[in-house]
Each structure stands twice: as C-alpha cells, then as structure tokens.
Amino acid sequence: MRAMEKLKADRLKTRADFLRAQKGARKGTAGLTLEACATPEKAAQPGRFRVGFTASRKVGGAVERNRAKRRLREAARAVLPLSGRERTDYVLVARPATLGRPYTSLLKDLASALAAAHLKLDNRDDTR
C-alpha cells in the first residue's frame, strides 16, 4: 500500500473483537484511550482496517456516552484513514474528558496515541 493512499474502515461489532483489542497495545491520553491489535487472518483484508468505539457509564448517562462516541467517530474518520495501518483493529474508548475536550485536541490525542500504539505493536512483533 502506498503511503498517500487512504485506507478504508470496517466496524468492529462482536464482543470477541473488542476483547482481543483490549489485550493488545494500549495508549491513554487526556481525551481518549486507544487499544490496537492485529486483525485476525480470517477477517483481514488488504487496504482495510477495523475500528470500534465504546464508552462506559463513567463518561455519563446515555446522552453523554452517545455524544462522546460521535466525537470519537469523527476524530477517527479524520485521522485513521491517513495514519492507521491496514490489517489492524482499533478500539477508541471514551473518557469523561472526551466530552469537553476541544476537537483539535482530540485529533492530536488520537494521533499521538496511534503513534505510540504502533510502536508497541512493532516491538511485540520483533520479540516473536
């Protein structure tokens, strides 16, 4: 895949996918937590990555959780196609600060978490 091509996103929908990502690389920032792992071979497709979103009750009631996930979806839509890796699963976890954080800060949080998670994934691959 060439560097300037945008990747396409698929959604994580099953609990097993979210649990697998939880065991992978994790990086927390002020506005979000990013969990990342390699996509299983049976689900991997060239030029595509998978992404899921979650928010616990610590974020707030249903309205706040939905708003936090909407903000994370927009941030992911802006950052992941350019900075994500194909055949990788990402889970963005909302934090209470996700709601009040400026959008540009949320984008920076995601970009820095993504870089750190990729480093962790690379180091895990090197040790095997």
Q: Structure pTM?
A: 0.90
42/93: higher pLDDT: 93
Tell me the per-residue pLDDT of 69-109, one tens digit each, with 9 for 90 and over. Answer: 999 999 999 999 999 999 999 999 999 999 999 999 999 99
Structural domains of the chain, ranges and CATH numbers in brackets: 8-121 (3.30.230.10)
- Could you please report the per-residue DSSP string of 53-114? EE--TTS-SHHHHHHHHHHHHHHHHHHHHHH--TTEEEEEEE-GGGTTS-HHHHHHHHHHHH
